[in-house]
Amino acid sequence: MQEQGEDRTAHGRCARRATAVSAPEMTGVLHAGRVAGRNALTLPTWFPAAKARAVLRLKGIPFALLSDARGAYAAVHVDELAIAPPERSLSGCATSLGPAVAETLPIDEAVRLMNRQATAYLPVVLGGAVLGVLSHAAVTAALEAAAYAPMAPSATFDPCQ
């Protein structure tokens, strides 16, 4: 087992890490890196589904990444491992990843990319290293949560007027 660190070319904006409150945080734009987080662990392709599920549950990580010399190419969710035959290898359970995206890519753009590429998973990268996996389900849930979140008053809002 090793932590993720595969090289990938990223779609989207240049990945930069801000040290203070950034403009996107002030405007409420959700980014791929915030939704995905560090939610993946690289496991060998031959690893059995039952053992992979146990490792992921123990670490509290929902995705296993599969990689080769060119980088991460597939992912499998812990729930998919629960319904797979215990002796099946991860390579037999995994779903191909779509193109890599930068951690700063807004999730509405990620949704469009997922729909255009017909993929359920996108690797989120920073500096060539895979940070996590962005799933269609996680993006949908984040967008729904953002739609129902109370909006902060603007700087010009005056409740007394």
- For position 96, what pLDDT does the model report? 92
Cβ atoms of residues 81 and 52 within 8 Å: yes
| Residue 152 per-residue DSSP state | P
Average pLDDT over residues 123-131: 88
Give the whole-angstrom CA distance, residue 7 versus residue 100.
10
Assign a CATH topology to domain 27-148. CBS-domain (3.10.580)
**What token pair was written down for 151?**
């909006």
Across 2-160, where does the E strand assignment appear? Answer: 40-42, 63-68, 71-77, 95-96, 101-102, 121-126, 129-135
Give the whole-angstrom CA distance, residue 120 versus residue 7.
20
| Per-residue model confidence as pLDDT tens digits over 90-113 | 999 999 999 999 999 998 899 899
Q: Are strands 121-126 and 101-102 parallel, antiparallel or unpaired?
A: parallel
**What token pair was written down for 105?**
């890519």
Average pLDDT over residues 55-73: 92
Q: Where are the domains of the chain?
A: 27-148
